[in-house]
Structure formats: structure tokens, C-alpha cells
């Protein structure tokens, strides 16, 4: 099976926007959605491309290209992160914006989907250069963002400091402080308790429900985590605290494996001190992509898109996959996993904890009334638990997989909002 898959792998569609459209079309077919509605929901409402001149530390001026895409706002203002990465493209940002539309609808929060990105290598830039880049990008996209229009958040290689710079820039442009213009901010600037670990915590709540459905306990389960950034490192800690055994993990430089369980606190400390998992003592080092092939009960792809493809899906040996990354599994690989009875908790559910707590942050900012962390986590658990079972019911009703069940749920909600609003003029 694996040899045959590898033979056809070069022909597999890996463009993220084309993959997003395939996922949409599959669910729309189940819903028997009319062609006119498909056209409305498939296309991005607004796409902005900006040139970002930045004075570098050496004195020269370099021009970067940035994007902000608003896919759909039928159910509320656009919401979505900003990523800094050398491989950012308009099609990638369009795909991520559409996934945000379906993600928000899946968990039932009143947002549409948006996304932003800048083509750059943040690892090679100084903090001052990143600040100038961020502030100029914020100024360029200022006409289309705002607490009632489009609310950015951090994504790959962006963080709370990035959001603070954007909030300050927009506030200076508009002449008053706008706490709600971005989420994922520092606590001192209207950020929310629980936000840094929200993506992973949402995945934890979804995993607990998935384990019940699959008939085993998360306590004692073996877990492999691909990617050890914010989401990956925190899900490793959270499942470890729940009694699971993390047996494999990786970052961009190396993978680590230990059959009887990795020392997660030691891993986290080593990563914090050195910036990598390289050199972690008492483990077997493996290639980063080999983590996806480790036999385990739960696999958590937490890096970038297109990690599980037709080229390697035949080597995946797990019971549950929780997609903490956006778009880590291709449509072809989805069909293989479905045939193998592997439960896949799709990205638009598994990593929706981040946007859900971002919504809580936005609500707190708009009312200037802030919640306790216990209240945030409890409300998140209720939201993700309800969403999981809504998706599972759609999956069972239509006899399909969890991803398609989530898309059926989400597309139906957005289509209904679009029908009720009508088309202007």
C-alpha cells in the first residue's frame, strides 16, 4: 500500500487553497448546496496585497510583501492570525482565511474568517526590524481592520508583542486606544488569561471526548507530537498532566523518542534554555518527520500544512489524530485515514480553542470587564465539548469522516446566515 501511494504522491494537490476548496466541495455535495451559494461561500470577500518598506538596522531599506484576506463576514467580523514566514503566499493566506470561516462556524462563535501574512524570515531579523515591519504592515492594513471589521491575532512567528505593536499603531492612527483591534495581546494591554495555552487546551478537551468515543482513556495513552512551538509544546505538557505518555516529539531541527515516555518537564526546560530539542539527554534522536510514523494512540500534528500526505500516510500508526496545525493533512491522506478507521479531529475543531478564547478576549475588551482563568477554561471546555459532539453527530448522520462532518456543520451555518441576510443590492 505504502509503495503505491508513494508512486502517486507527486500528482497530489498540495496548494493549500485548492485543498481548502476540495474540502468545501466534499461537504457541499453532502448538503446538496446550490451552485450560486457555493460560488458565494468559496470566494474570498476581500484580498489586500501591500508593499512594506522597512529600514533595516544596516541602514538599507528593504521592501516586504504582505497580505490580509477576509474570506467571509456573514456571521460577524473577520477573525484570523498573522504569520511571518518565508513561504507565505496569497493562496496560503486565502486558504487559512477560509479555514477560519469554517472554524468559527464549527464552534459557534460570531465571527467570519480572515488571515494575514508577511513574506519574511523573522529568525534573521532583529527585534527592532520586526517592530518596524509590524508597525508599517499594521498601518497599511489599517483601512480594513478594527474591532467591528477584522480582528487579527498571532500566528506562526508572531506573538503577544507583535499584537501590542499592532494595537499601538492602530490606536495612534485613530487617536484613541482600541484594545479590541487585535487579540492575543499581553495582559497589561487587555489580553486574556488563558489565551497563550488556549489552542492546546481546546485540543485537550476535544481529545478527551474522542478518547471516550474510541473506548480508551487519555490517561495512560501514548502520544506523539509533531512540532514543538507554542501549540505543540503546550499540548505535550497538558496531555502529560492528564496522565498520557508522550513518547515522541520534534521541532524543526530534530525529533526525540523514548518508548517508556519522555520527561516532558525536562523537554520544556531544555527547549526554553537552548531554543531546540537538539541535545536532549536520555532520548533517541530521530528525524523530525519520523515522529509522524511512530506507533502511538494519539498523534498531534502541530507544525505547518501538508505534513501527512499520500507519500507518508501509509506509515501513520495511530488511533486518533488531533490537528493542532492548520491544514496538516491532505484530502488524499484523509481518505486513507478514513478507510483505516483512524479518527481525525480536524483543524477547524482541534485547534479552535485559540480563536474561541480570542473571542472571549474581544468580548472582555469591548466591555472592559475581565474574566478569571477558571471561567475562561470552563467556558472553553463547554464550547469545544459541544462542538465535538455536534460534529460527531453530523459525521454519523451523513456516514462520513469527522472533517467532512465539521464542514457540513459549518457550511450549513454560514449558508443559512447568507440566505437570511440576502445579497446587497
Residues with catalytic roles: 115
Cβ pair 47, 71 in contact under 8 A:
no
Question: Which residues are CB-neighbours of 92 under 8 A, at least 6 positions away?
Answer: 16, 17, 117, 305
Cβ pair 72, 45 in contact under 8 A:
yes
Cα–Cα distance list, 186 to 114, 196, 203 (Å): 22, 10, 22
* Helix %, strand %, coil % of the chain (to 5): 50, 15, 30
End-to-end CA distance of the chain: give it in Å, rounded: 54
Q: Is 135 helix (H, G, I), strand (E, B) or coil?
A: helix
Q: Is 332 helix (H, G, I), strand (E, B) or coil?
A: helix
Is residue 73 classed exposed, middle or buried when 0-12, 13-18 and 19+ CB atoms within 10 A define those classes?
buried
Please state, in angstroms and rounded to a whole number, the distance separating the CA atoms of residues 196 and 234.
Answer: 9
Tell me, what DSSP letter sits at residue 151?
E
Strand pairing partners for 46?
70
Please state, in angstroms and rounded to a whole number, the distance separating the CA atoms of residues 27 and 229.
Answer: 31
DSSP H or E segment with residue 380:
helix 373-398
16-19: long-range pairs with CB below 8 Å, 24+: 16/91, 16/92, 16/95, 16/96, 16/305, 16/306, 16/327, 17/91, 17/92, 17/94, 17/95, 17/98, 18/91, 19/95, 19/305, 19/327, 19/330, 19/331
Amino acid at each position: 500500500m505504502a509503495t503505491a501511494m508513494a508512486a502517486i504522491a507527486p500528482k497530489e494537490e498540495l496548494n493549500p487553497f485548492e485543498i481548502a476548496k476540495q474540502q468545501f466541495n466534499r461537504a457541499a455535495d453532502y448538503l446538496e448546496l446550490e451552485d450560486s451559494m457555493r460560488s458565494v461561500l468559496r470566494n474570498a470577500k476581500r484580498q489586500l496585497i501591500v508593499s512594506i518598506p522597512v529600514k533595516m538596522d544596516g541602514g538599507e531599506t528593504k521592501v516586504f510583501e504582505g497580505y490580509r484576506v477576509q474570506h467571509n463576514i456573514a456571521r460577524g467580523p473577520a477573525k484570523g492570525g498573522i504569520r511571518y514566514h518565508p513561504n507565505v503566499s496569497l493562496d496560503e493566506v486565502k486558504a487559512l482565511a477560509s479555514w477560519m470561516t469554517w472554524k468559527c462556524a464549527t464552534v459557534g462563535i460570531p465571527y467570519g474568517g480572515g488571515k494575514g501574512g508577511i513574506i519574511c524570515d523573522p529568525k534573521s531579523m532583529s527585534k527592532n526590524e520586526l517592530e518596524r515591519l509590524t508597525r508599517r504592515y499594521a498601518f497599511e492594513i489599517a483601512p480594513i481592520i478594527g474591532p467591528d471589521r477584522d480582528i487579527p491575532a498571532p500566528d506562526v512567528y508572531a506573538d503577544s508583542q507583535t499584537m501590542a505593536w499592532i494595537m499601538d499603531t492602530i490606536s495612534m492612527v485613530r487617536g484613541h486606544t482600541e484594545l479590541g483591534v487585535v487579540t492575543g495581546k499581553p495582559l497589561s494591554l487587555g489580553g486574556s488569561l488563558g489565551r497563550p495555552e488556549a489552542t492546546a487546551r481546546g485540543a485537550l478537551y476535544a481529545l478527551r471526548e474522542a478518547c471516550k468515543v474510541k473506548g480508551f482513556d487519555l490517561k495512560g495513552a501514548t502520544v506523539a507530537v509533531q512540532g514543538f512551538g507554542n501549540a505543540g509544546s503546550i499540548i505535550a505538557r497538558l496531555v502529560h498532566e492528564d496522565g498520557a505518555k508522550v513518547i515522541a516529539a520534534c521541532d524543526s531541527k530534530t525529533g526525540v523518542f523514548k518508548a517508556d515516555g519522555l520527561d516532558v518537564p525536562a523537554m520544556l526546560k531544555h527547549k526554553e534554555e537552548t531554543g531546540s530539542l537538539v541535545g536532549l539527554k536520555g532520548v533517541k534522536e530521530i528525524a523530525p518527520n519520523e515522529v509522524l510514523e511512530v506507533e502511538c494512540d494519539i498523534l498531534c500534528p502541530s507544525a505547518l500544512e501538508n505534513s501527512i500526505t499520500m507519500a507518508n500516510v501509509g506509515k501513520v500508526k495511530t488511533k486518533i489524530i488531533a490537528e493542532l496545525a492548520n491544514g496538516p493533512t491532505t484530502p488524499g491522506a484523509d481518505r486513507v485515514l478514513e478507510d483505516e478507521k483512524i479518527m481525525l479531529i480536524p483543524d477547524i475543531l482541534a485547534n479552535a480553542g485559540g480563536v474561541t478564547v480570542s473571542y472571549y478576549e474581544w468580548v472582555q475588551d469591548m466591555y472592559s470587564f475581565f474574566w478569571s482563568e477558571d471561567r475562561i477554561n470552563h467556558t472553553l471546555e463547554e464550547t469545544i465539548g459541544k462542538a465535538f459532539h455536534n460534529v460527531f453527530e453530523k459525521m454519523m448522520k451523513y456516514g462520513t469522516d469527522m472533517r467532512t462532518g465539521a464542514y457540513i456543520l459549518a457550511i450549513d451555518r454560514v449558508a443559512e446566515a447568507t440566505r437570511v441576510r440576502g445579497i446587497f443590492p
